[in-house]
Structure formats: C-alpha cells, structure tokens
Amino acid sequence: MTKRSQATITDIARHVGLTNMTVSRALNKPDKVKPETREKILAAARELGYVPNAFASHLRSRKNQLIGLVTASVDNPFYSEVIKAVSRAAEERDYTIMLIDTDGSPEREEVAIETLLSYQVAGIILSPVSDAADYRPAYLDRLRATRLPVVMLDRTLNVPDFSRAVLDNRLAGSLLGELLVKKDIRRVLALTGPRGSRITQDRLSGLKTAFDAAGVSLTVEQRPGDYTLQPAYRDMADYLRQGKLPDAVFGFNQLITLGAMRALHDARVSRDEVMVVGVDRLPYADIFEVSVPCAAHDTYRLGHEAFRMLFEQIEDPTATGREVVISATLISSSGD
C-alpha cells in the first residue's frame, strides 16, 4: 500500500497560484487576508486534505499546552482512574495529555522522556518503571538541566528533586494485617512486587507491624513478582503444586490478586479454604458477586493531585516541591 503524503502549505500555494506567506497568513491569521482570497485558500486546503501541524502551532505560540503522562503499564487497572483524573483536570485548564506506556521497560522509559522533551511539553507526570532505591535512570540529569516541572506518581525515584503524589503503603499493609489478625490468620503467602521495591517493602512492613502490635505470631512467605498477573498466577500455582495451603493470600496489587485467584480457581481451591485479600478494589468484581477484602485508595484523587501540583509549578516555576499522600480505607466486604 502506498503511504499517503500529508498536504503542506507549499502544496496549497502551488494549487491556488499564491505565495506560501499568503497561504500561511490565511490559515493562521485569516483577518489579514481578503475574504475572497481566504475562501479560495480554505477551499483548496479542504480539497487537498490539509491538516494543520499542531506541534508547529505550539512552537509558534510559545505556549505549549501539552502535558506528558508516563505510566509503567496501561494494562494495570490502577492507572485507568489516574489517567482519567489527569485527563479531565488537564482539559479544565486547556491542556492536552500525551500518554506514553513504557510497559515496564527502562529503555522505553528513556525514549519516552526524550520524546516528551523534544515536543517541549509544559510538564511531565511520571510513574517510573521501578521504585528500587538503586534505580537511577540516565534521563535524570536531562530533566534536572531543563528545569521542567515534573511530578512523580505512585512509584517514585529515590531523589529529592521532584514533587510526588503517592499512596500510604504502610497503612495499606497495616489495615489488611489488622483484618487478618481478627480472622485468626497465622500463615500468609505474600505475592508482592519486586523485592527491592519500596512500595513492596512498605506494604510488607505494615502487615508485619499489625501482627506485632497485636502480639500475634505471623508466618509469612514472600513470592516477589513484578506487579503483573502472570507471575502471580505462576507463583500461586507453583505454591499449590507443592501441596501447601496458606491461611491467606495477600496480593500486593489488583493484578497480583487476580492472578492468585485464577490459580486457586484452576486448582479448585475455594476461598473458604484460603482467604484472599489485596490492595485496591478488583475491577467489576461486584458484577460476579465476588467479595475480596482490600485496602482501597482513591486513585482518581491521586491523579487529580498529581496534575494540581504540576500545574502549580507550570504557573510558578519557583514553587516549592511537595508531597501528597493518599491514605487507604479498609473494605472488608463488597457491602462496605
């Protein structure tokens, strides 16, 4: 198939027998061109299928209305409410978001940042591929040099430079730990994110703290994954094949919880035999009358706060960076 070429101002000028300057003026400053000339040029533009270059218009106006939003995985339902919140907040301020999914790849994340910088975005909301303490991507120096407004969301780099909108992960672990204590749970299989992830470490710490505070012994076996469904399914299935059953399974995010539940279902292990808890509500679970106790976060608010901080910095480059923390709420049943 032959690739369709994009009509240009030069094409229109050639078509109507006028100069590029006249065509450009008719398209961008129509009041500066005689009505009959303007109509002739606009008719030719429609005929040739001319589409204005929005990026070039941004550069000409010297006021870019683009916001970059970089996520580690749009497959993760956690991000759907975040993206919706950022998009709506941006629209209210006449900004447009440019969404880039890195799919958990540091290389794609590097390209994403370079792409957004090349588009001269007004600011970036960034959820990095890793929040491990030793993760220091090369693009950090580029961001610092540009002094571009940046807000980190959920996962954060271990640097003090940027504002951040995060979850209270210790509280999430603690709330579910307190619930498990009340349910007389003693042996927990924790299906977590990467072992070096600070989110993982905080949620695990909160779980253990709740048992310690209650003076109850806890046996916890950690199976680290990458916050996606398939590794959780594999680890849960492998655990069951060893002939072991925990009292409870703790999924450290929605996809992990779903992966664990699928493996339990395939092994014909009922949730009467093994309790399942997780961080954040499972999407659409209520349709199937599935009740999974969870520590739920207002992820829409998380996205909204991230944009609000970014907009503050765009409006006032001297604004001090800050942190917004979203607390968790225990949802012990579908009716809560």
Q: Tens digits of per-residue pLDDT, 199-212?
A: 999 999 999 999 99
| Token output for 313 | 């910095």
- Over residues 140-199, the pLDDT tens digits come to 988 998 899 999 999 999 999 899 999 999 999 999 999 999 999 999 999 999 999 999
Distance of alpha carbon 258 from alpha carbon 281, whole angstroms: 11
Query: Using a CB cutoff of 8 Å and minimum separation of 24, what contacts does 36-43 make?
Result: 40/16, 41/12, 41/16
Q: Which residues contact 127 (CB under 8 A, 6 or more apart)?
A: 70, 71, 72, 79, 82, 152, 153, 154, 155
pLDDT value at residue 86: 97
Highest mean pLDDT among 24-28, 310-314, 319-323: 310-314
- pLDDT of 323 strictly over 60: yes
Task: Give the alpha-carbon dihedral of 104, 107, 108, 111, to 10 degrees.
Answer: 150
Q: Which residues pair with 279 in a beta bridge?
A: 295
Question: 278 near 251, Cβ under 8 Å?
Answer: yes
What integer pLDDT is reported at residue 63 of this predicted model?
A: 59
pLDDT at 288 over 50: yes
CA-derived radius of gyration, the chain = 26
Question: Do 67 and 30 touch, CB atoms closer than 8 A?
Answer: no
Is 68 in contact with 125 (CB distance < 8 Å)? yes
- Rounded average pLDDT over 53-76: 74
Which of the given ranges, 9-13, 21-25, 170-174, has the highest pLDDT on average? 170-174
> Amino acid identity, residue 146?
T
Domains of the chain: 9-52 (1.10.260.40), 63-167+299-326 (3.40.50.2300), 169-297 (3.40.50.2300)
Tens of pLDDT, residues 298-317: 999 999 999 999 999 999 98
Q: Is the pLDDT of residue 49 over 90?
A: no
If you average pLDDT over every residue of the chain, what do you get? 91
Q: Do residues 248 and 189 touch, judged by C-beta distance below 8 A?
A: yes
- pLDDT score recorded for residue 296: 97
Position 7 scores a pLDDT of 84
Provide, rounded to the nearest whole percent, the portion of the chain with pLDDT above 70: 94
Residues in Cβ contact with 255 at an 8 Å cutoff, skipping those fewer than 6 apart: 75, 76, 77, 227, 228, 229, 232
- Residue-wise pLDDT for 102-152, tens only, equals 999 999 999 999 999 988 899 999 999 999 999 999 999 889 988 999 999
Residue 327: band (very low, low, confident or very high) from pLDDT cuts 50, 70, 90: very high
> What pTM did the predictor assign?
0.82
Q: Look at residue 53 in the predicted model and tell me its pLDDT.
A: 66
